[in-house]
Amino acid sequence: MKKYLLPLMAAMMAIPLATAAEGDAWPWDFPQTVTLNAAPGQWALSCYTFYPSAVRDGEDLTKATLIFYSEKIGEVGASVSKIGNAEMPNALIIPLDPNARAKKGDFVLTWWQQGSGLQRAVVTDDSNPAEPKVDYLDMSYGDEKNPGFAQSEADQQLKPGTFTVLRDGEWMPGAQLAAFSGGEWKSATLICEHNGKVLALGWGDRLTVYDKAACRLIPLGEKFKKGDQVWATFVDSYRDGYTVKKVDMKIGRVWVERGSRTEAMSVAEVTKVLNP
């Protein structure tokens, strides 16, 4: 199921909030007690509905769907902070920059502001740098006959304080990763990095911990041209053998071909970084 549908379905289900306090189940080899550089009232992204209810219901958290929604931070603690009506481990809260300013062509971390759920996006209009217009990257992109959500939600204006500008080469929340695991390069979004470990959100909105040394940052600003040989995502992993057919960096899309199939992918899904 496409990632953009999951937040919509969850919202329709009206999942009640619960509380997850320090000491609850934490199956990941990653500290909960990271410092949260944030202030009350600041916008953030967190799985503040899914994680508490999964803990309460005794789910296997390594297999649980943990979608990151937007909400304002309440109290900030040393290991657990309040967001919405939930208490969450700091490692599962991503504060957004309250003073962010973006320029055209920048990539940002935000959420689908006409719906819900974590999104990366490219800035298409910087007339108001504090409220830029963006095209979302983590949505499907179709063709003229069958447009995807990315096209129908194009040029959406973000509200002030609801995004963070992503910087290539930095291990920051929202960065795109390729993590080598099980003989494959897994595609994932960085949630938190600490002491050589990376907590990342992958296929099915599941959290996994990787050694930082086993991961590579995928630059969203990578340069492509027609004919380039690249890796592109298939299900949950990057695969090689793709050829670039077309590039439109204004909307953060790269058209790639493998066999007889051509597909429009976001810049997070295509890379030359993994080439030998």
pLDDT tens for 49-82 read: 999 999 999 999 999 999 999 999 999 999 999 9
Determine contact, residues 231/240, Cβ cutoff 8 Å: yes
> Is the per-residue pLDDT at 12 higher than 50?
no
Which of 9-23, 86-100, 124-138 shows the lowest per-residue confidence on average (mean pLDDT)? Answer: 9-23
Assess whether pLDDT exceeds 60 at residue 155.
Answer: yes
SS3 state of residue 211:
strand
pLDDT-derived band at 268 (thresholds 50, 70, 90) equals very high
Q: Are 135 and 125 in contact (CB under 8 A)?
A: no
pLDDT at 263 exceeding the cut of 60: yes
pLDDT at 144: 84
- Is residue 238 predicted with pLDDT exceeding 90? yes
How high does pLDDT run on average in the chain?
91
Mean pLDDT of 158-162: 98
**Higher-confidence position of 191 and 1:** 191
- pLDDT for 17 equals 34
What's the pLDDT band for 19 if we cut at 50, 70, 90? Answer: very low
Tokens of 69: 């929604």
Mean pLDDT of 210-229: 98
Residue from 9, 89, 13 nearest 48 by CA: 89
Instruction: For residue 11, name the pLDDT band (cuts at 50, 70, 90).
Output: very low
The pLDDT value given to residue 75: 96
pLDDT in the model for residue 32: 85
Give 14's pLDDT tier (boundaries 50, 70, 90): very low
- CA–CA separation, 256 vs 248, rounded Å? 12
pLDDT at 6 over 60: no
| Confidence check: pLDDT of 45 > 80 | yes
pLDDT for position 213:
98
List the one residue out of 85, 83, 53 whose CA is nearest residue 66: 53
Amino acid at the residue 47: C
The whole-number pLDDT of residue 98 equals: 98
pLDDT above 50 (res 157):
yes
Q: What pLDDT is stored for residue 2 in this prediction?
A: 40
How far, in Å, CA of 7 to CA of 86, rounded?
Answer: 18
CB 179 within 8 A of CB 274: no
The number of helix segments (H) and strand segments (E) in the chain equals 3, 20
The percentage of residues in the chain with a pLDDT greater than 70, rounded to a whole number, is 91
